[in-house]
A and B are shown apart, each in its own frame.
Chain A
Amino acid sequence: MRFMLLFSRQGKLRLQKWYTATAERDKKKMVRELMQIVLARKPKMCSFLEWRDLKIVYKRYASLYFCCAIEEQDNELITLEVIHRFVELLDKYFGSVCELDIIFNFEKAYFILDEFLMGGEIQDTSKKSVLKAIEQADLLQEEDESPRSVLEEMGLA
């Protein structure tokens, strides 16, 4: 996978992860172009696009578009499932995830993504073990902040 973008229906970028070195300027241009293309597509249309030399796989969940760029030989359908699994992970972690969760806790979403995909390849397909890894790291944080852990518990419960 070359990159993954999350953006809202209004065209606001919510998350971006680039797996190959890309210049900042190009990133911006690509994000803008892709958002335009994807947002213009109608609901019943195909989830796959060919764009530049890449294949784009996108899927809309509520108000959020998840959009992956993959290479020629990659499998589109499985990429849709990558997106779906990521959504499942977010959902499990946040407890019926909504766009706001991702906006306000975007760094958490990044952590989950990093635990799920590494270097653009799927790293762990098991929902359980991804979340276990995240929780362990979160625990570490809590230990770290033990004085306020009660508040934390309430906040994260």
Chain B
Amino acid sequence: MSDVVEKTLTALPGLLSLDSQPGSNKLSSNSKLRNLIRGITELTSKHEEEKLIQRELTSIKEQVSSPNTSMRQMKELMVRAIYCEMLGYEASFSYIHAIKLAQQGTALEKRVGYLAVSLFLNESHELLLLLVNTVLKDLQSTNLIEVCMALTVVGQMFPKDMIPAILPLVEEKLNHPKEIIRRKAVLALYKFYLIAPNQVQHIHNKFRKALCDKDPGVMTASLHIYLQLIEENPEGYKDLTTSFVTILKQVVGGKLPMDFNYHSVPAPWLQIQLLRILCLLGKNDQSTSEIMYEVLDESLRRAEINHNITYAILFECVKCIYTIHPKSELLEKAAKCIGNFVLSPKINLKYLGLKALTYVVQQDPKLALQHQMTIIECLDHPDLIIKRETLELLFRITNAQNVTVIVDKMLEFLRINKDDYTTIDLVGKTMSTVFSVGGDTMQPDIPNSFLKLLSEGFDSVEEDRKLRLFAVDSYVSLLQGEPGKLPQRFLQVISWVLGEYSCLRADLEVDTVLRLLAKLLDMKTTSSETKSWVLMAMTKLCEGGAGVSVARGVSETYSSSLDTVLRQRAQELQHLSQDPELRARVLPRHTGLEPLEVDSSLSFLDGFVSEALAAGAAPYKPPHQRQEELAQAKSLSLEPYGLSLPLSMSSCSITDRQSPTLLSISSGLSGNSNDLSHKGGSSSLRLDGVKRVWGREGYLAQREPAEESAHVEVPSTLRSPSQQGRADGSHSQTPTHTPTPELEKQQLASSLFVGLGSHSSVCLMGKSEPTPQRFRRKARSPASSSGASENISHSLVSPPITVDTLVCNNLLDSHITSEPDVSPLEQTPPLSQGLAAANGSCDEELPDSDVKGSSPSLIGDDALVAADPAPHEEPPKDLLLSSYLPAELSGLSHSEITPLSSDQSLDLSACHVQKEGDLVLVVFIYNSSDSDIQQILLELDSEELEVSCECDGAVGGARGHSVAVCQYSLSVKRPSVHVELVGTVSYQFPVGTPQSGQFSYKLPLSSFIRPLTLSTEEYGTMWLDFSHDTKQNLTLISDDPEPLAASLSVLKNKLQLHVVEIIGMEGIVACRLLQDQPCLMHCRLHAGTLAVWLRSPVPDLPDCLMYFCQRALQEH
């Protein structure tokens, strides 16, 4: 209220400015506040603001304590004080005056007084006691507004102990004739119930009265109390279920007054409240649940309008349906509803969809499978919140098979996300649960990353501390439970964390931790590797006192252990625990992350070595040299001795504050061939004397063919049927014509969602196409193309695939492509033979054809060629180039490899390969120069064709004298007898100007024709639907007793048409143009010719096809 009179009285200079401002009256009441706000906006620095506010506060302080200040002025002062507090400046001197204002002011001032009190104080503030009398008085006032104000402030805060003083008055208000008073009274009681439940226990029956209130607003208010009550004791309120259901039915049915509608949805708040209550009541209670099925169904049905508020109701409904005793029909609907959320383009709904999935996924893992692609997309969502929720969801579906992928994803997320709470929450959960689930199947680098995360920490010291404390706390309690069930790897992590960080917990006795650790040592199941971790942790911990005795006991036991490492550890423990000074030097506390200087040359041992040498010891040979010597000598392997050296080396350095696994990995590196062989036991022994043929990435290059053939067998024999089944399953769901990013997602999906639901359902998920081509090679991403040519040659023979390596590749290097490919031996021949025939015919189109055989037996030859790439002298010939065909295409027939363009450094050639559902153009880029080309860019364009690149246009680079390969999937946009592609290649040497060249590639439309299998009936209905047609009489193959059948079989073989049926003198034939454009053919014997009638929905297609039919028959 622009207090002009008052302004004049107080004669403030602000008056003038107030009057001069147009519209100032409208803006505000309080010109001093206005001036203050103005003043602040004009300031430029925080410092000035502080000065101004302090000045303001001083002036307010003076005025509030002056006895001459009227209540009206006081009101205005309070508003300013509130403002200053909101800006973050304390105005505690005004609190008492706010109470005074509430007490003494008239209605207007009282309202500001109450507001100030509720903003300044909280319920534990002692000044609040002074308010009790005012509230008491106002509750009894005849002025409704005053009663409302009192109830409002009571609902905001009230001193707990004083509740009994006003409770009777508030209770009384439940009978007040005005519903607004009753409503506020109910909410005030709700507040009392929250802060002091015992105080209101005796009035529970009054709540029932409120629930039955004739005013829906009061009834709604009472539901807040009921929700609380039922949450605490659902059993006590089961009798109310029918009432709640009835109310919900009425609300949903639109029985409430229009006033309660919100955007034409009836009382959504009330609906949600009721659904939440029903959810609590129906949980684990079949009979109660049955009462509500009908209304839940109705709610789902009624919520039609596409508005946030309906989604809010739906979400609550779904939650309820999944919480109460299940009913399949409702679950189905709810699942569909979740689907709507997940698939919604609105990000808020998507988020809630993910949340809902997270909620239901344990009951219904299939639901997650249904949405796996969306989930995968969300995993890369730019909004971290969505990403996090997705991880939460994945966390719920973690099982032994997918744990590695999920943990990896989580680590990736943690690395970019610095939100402390999220991190602690997520890491905590992951560490405990995922470790216990994933257990020993995990790659050793996963726990390592965890430890690294823990020790390096984040930006803030405080967060690190919290996270570490969390870890220590949860691990101590785990050890106090049943540690025997925990996986070894997890026990190792636990030991390390406790050794490192248990000192952070001041109240945790070192003694206790030591005892817990000692308990681990006594367990039979603990492996000796774990034991050495435990001993190390103990070494870090035992610091005088009782610890020493525990340590002594342990070290005595293990110093006679047969295991050298354990013995070593026990010795260390013994010495260090007895010599605090040495201990302090070796294991300094609180050094944090100061980088350790490691003398990697071990120069401090020089003296020792020279002494030993002088004494006649043999000079040191590195392990690989020893292995080679052993292999040459063809003697029995003495591997254990060979290994003992690296082992003892690692045990020397292991005591420093690094995680031992790092070292144990390095010592295990020598045998990094194939995980399965490790499982066999002494893998390193077996490998001795055998050249390493199989690497992690698959087959290693430059081996003699003889060896190769010996090893082709390896995968199938090594894989157990079940593993093979799984690997096949996860691959077969990959549709062959999907573009690469999509493909990667699907591969990720298959690795994430393994083990959810039955095996068959996993297959179903990936909208798999029944293609004989089971496996598909991922197109190379630019990053990995440096090794492209090598990979290609490897891929011709299949490396051993184990589930382990598959999973690990998918998870860990899903962007690097050198994924093991699968043997072409597994490809089933029928299609490729069919295609061979087809290619034969199209090769006839190209006069200088050089048909490459396509029978599987040739693959061996290809492999031979590939194994000896020898690309150093001259550009690879056709035969050589064909060996660079990607593995999954190599079994299929391809057209002749035609040169496209060539200049001084790049030779481009191409061929096309017919697959059942696709036509793949393969471009070979041979770098004939000596230097490497970093980046080659290929651009293809065509008027008739849709070109989709499987490698994003950028081929990456090609090394000197090597070949890079690029695949394109083609489909026809506009049919034409011959379709043509034009392309540009551009590239640049590290030094030099950018080069580019043009080329074109022509192929017959017949390459895109595939058989279309359908029945005569289907043919009949389709025939009538097609609008484009052409008719022509063609030459008949007359030298056959059955000219019609013979002609059709020629067409079938050359053009891949499908003969639907031959009825007497007529034949019906069907085919499709890739991807799915049908063309139907009707032929009839007529006067020694074949009358052909072609129909299709695609313009020009019948004409083109007619041309090919004519050619095929003529050339026969």
Residues of chain A whose beta carbon lies under 8 Å from any beta carbon of chain B: 13-16, 18-19, 21-24, 28, 37, 41-42, 44-53, 73, 75-78, 80-81, 85, 100-101, 103-107, 110-111, 114-115, 118-119, 121-126, 128-129, 133, 136-137, 140-141, 144-145, 147-148, 151-152, 154-157
B156 touches A118 (CB 8 A): yes
CA distance A86 to B156 in the complex (A): 18
| Beta-carbon nearest neighbor of B309 in chain A | A81
User: A46-B348, A77-B308, A144-B108 are contacts. A125–B33 as well, Cβ < 8 Å?
Assistant: no
Indicate with 1 or 0, residue by residue over B273-285, a CB within 8 angstroms of chain A CB atoms: 0001000000000
Over the window 223-265 of chain B, the binary record of Cβ atoms lying under 8 Å from chain A Cβ atoms (1 yes, 0 no) is 0100000000000000000000000000000000001101000
Binds A, one of B80-88, B576-584, B763-771, B1102-1110: B80-88
**Nearest chain A CB to B979 CB, angstrom units:** 41
For residue B43, CB closer than 8 A to chain A, the reply is no
**Does B129 belong to the interface (CB within 8 Å)?**
no
Tell me whether B451 is interfacial, beta carbon within 8 Å: no
Known contacts A77-B348, A119-B156; is A21 also within 8 Å of B184 by CB? no
A137: chain B residues within 8 A (beta carbon)? 107, 111, 145, 148
Judge whether A118 and B184 touch: CB under 8 Å.
Answer: yes
Q: Which of A46, A125, A148 contacts B5 (CB 8 A)?
A: A148
Query: Which single residue of chain A is at the shortest CB-CB distance from B217?
Result: A124
In the complex, A157 Cα to B382 Cα: how many Å? 47
Contact A46/B112 with A13-B86, A119-B191, A125-B269 known, Cβ cut-off 8 Å = no
Complex contact A45–B383 (CB within 8 A): yes
Which residue of chain A is the closest to B179 with respect to CB atoms?
Answer: A129
Q: Using Cβ atoms and an 8 Å threshold, which residues of chain B touch A41?
A: 383
Of B107, B122, B155, the contact of A22 (CB 8 Å cutoff): B122
Residues in B lying within 8 Å of A, measured CB to CB: 1-5, 25-30, 33-34, 37, 79, 82-83, 86-88, 90, 106-108, 111-112, 115, 118-119, 122-124, 143-145, 148, 152, 155-157, 180, 183-184, 187-188, 190-191, 194, 217, 220-221, 224, 259-260, 262, 267-269, 272, 276, 308-309, 311-312, 315-316, 347-348, 350-352, 382-383, 385-386, 388, 419, 421-422
Q: Is the CB of A114 within 8 A of B152?
A: yes
* Sampled A-B contacts (20; CB under 8 Å): A18-B122, A21-B122, A42-B383, A45-B382, A46-B383, A47-B347, A50-B421, A77-B315, A78-B269, A81-B262, A81-B308, A104-B28, A104-B34, A106-B82, A121-B187, A122-B269, A123-B183, A125-B260, A144-B107, A148-B4
Residues of A within 8 Å of B268, CB to CB, are: 78, 81, 125
- Contact in complex: A140, B312 (CB < 8 Å): no
B145–A145 CB distance below 8 A: no
Q: How far is the CA of A106 from the CA of B352 in the complex (A)?
A: 33
- The answer, among B2, B86, B188, B347, for a CB contact under 8 Å with A151, is B2
CB-based contact B108/A140 at 8 Å: yes
Inter-chain CA distance A51–B220, complex, in Å, is 29
B interface majority secondary structure: helix
Question: Shortest Cβ distance from A114 into chain B, in angstroms?
Answer: 5
* Residue among A51, A100, A137 facing the most chain B CB atoms (10 A cut-off): A137
A47 vs B308: C-alpha distance when bound (angstroms): 12
Minimum CB–CB distance from A125 to chain B (whole Å) comes to: 5
Closest residue of chain B to A76, judged by CB?
A: B352
Asked whether, in the complex, the Cβ of B1 is within 8 Å of the Cβ of A118, the reply is: no
Identify the 9 closest CB pairs spanning chains A and B, nearest first: A77-B312, A155-B25, A104-B28, A141-B108, A21-B122, A78-B312, A119-B155, A119-B191, A118-B155
* Chain B neighbourhood of A21, CB < 8 A: 122-124, 157
Query: How many angstroms between the C-alpha atoms of A18 and B157 in the bound complex?
Result: 10
Of the candidates A46, A75, A110, A119, the one whose C-beta lies within 8 Å of that of B312 is A75
A156: chain B residues at CB < 8 Å are 26
Contact of A78 among B29, B157, B188, B309 (CB under 8 A): B309
The answer to whether B308 touches A80, judged by C-beta atoms less than 8 angstroms apart, is yes
A116 to chain B, nearest CB (A): 11
Tell which of B5, B37, B269, B347 touches A44, judged by Cβ atoms closer than 8 Å.
Answer: B347
**Residues of B with C-beta under 8 A to A77:** 308-309, 311-312, 315, 348, 352
Contacts of A103 in B (CB 8 A): 37
Name the contact of B187 in the complex, choosing from A52, A53, A106, A118 (C-beta under 8 A).
A118
User: Which single member of A46, A110, A145 contacts B115 (CB below 8 Å)?
Assistant: A110
Q: A148 is contacted by which of B1, B33, B267 (Cβ under 8 Å)?
A: B1
The residue that A81 contacts in the complex, of B79, B143, B312, with Cβ under 8 A, is: B312
- Closest B residue to A14 by beta carbon equals B86
Contact B269 A13 (CB under 8 A): no
Q: B385 contacts A48, CB within 8 Å?
A: yes
- Per the bound structure, the CA–CA distance linking A134 and B312 in Å amounts to 28
In the bound complex, what is the Cα–Cα distance between A51 and B262 (angstroms)?
Answer: 29
Return B483 CB to nearest CB of chain A, in Å: 29
Closest Cβ–Cβ distance, residue A78 to chain B (whole Å): 4
A113 to chain B, nearest CB (A): 10
Are B190 and A28 neighbours in the complex by a CB distance under 8 Å? no
Q: How near does chain B come to A131, taking the closest CB pair, in angstroms?
A: 12
Is A45 touching B347 in the complex (CB atoms < 8 A)?
yes
> Contact between A104 and B33 (Cβ–Cβ < 8 Å)?
yes
CA distance A88 to B148 in the complex (A): 23
Instruction: Give the docked Cα–Cα distance between A23 and B144 (Å).
Output: 33
B1–A145 CB distance below 8 A = yes
Inter-subunit contact A140/B107 (CB<8 Å):
yes
Report the minimal beta-carbon distance from A88 to chain B, rounded to whole angstroms. Answer: 10
Q: A107 near B82 (CB under 8 angstroms)?
A: yes
| Residues in B whose Cβ lies below 8 Å from that of A114 | 115, 118, 152, 156
A126 touches B385 (CB 8 A): no
* Alpha-carbon separation in the docked complex, A47 to B86 (Å): 25
Is B25's CB under 8 angstroms from A154's CB? Answer: yes
Assuming the contacts A118-B156, A155-B2, asked whether A100 and B87 have C-beta atoms less than 8 A apart, the reply is: no
A18 nearest CB neighbor, chain B only? B122
| Complex CA–CA separation, A22 to B348 (angstroms) | 29
Which residue, A78, A100, A101, A156, has most C-beta atoms of chain B within 10 A? A78
| Contact of B88 (CB < 8 Å), options: A28, A47, A147 | A28
Complex CA distance for A50 and B425, rounded to whole angstroms: 11
For the complex, what is the distance from the CA of A51 to the CA of B187, rounded to whole Å? 27
**Chain B contacts of A129 at CB under 8 A?**
180, 217, 259
Contact B386 A46 (CB under 8 A): yes
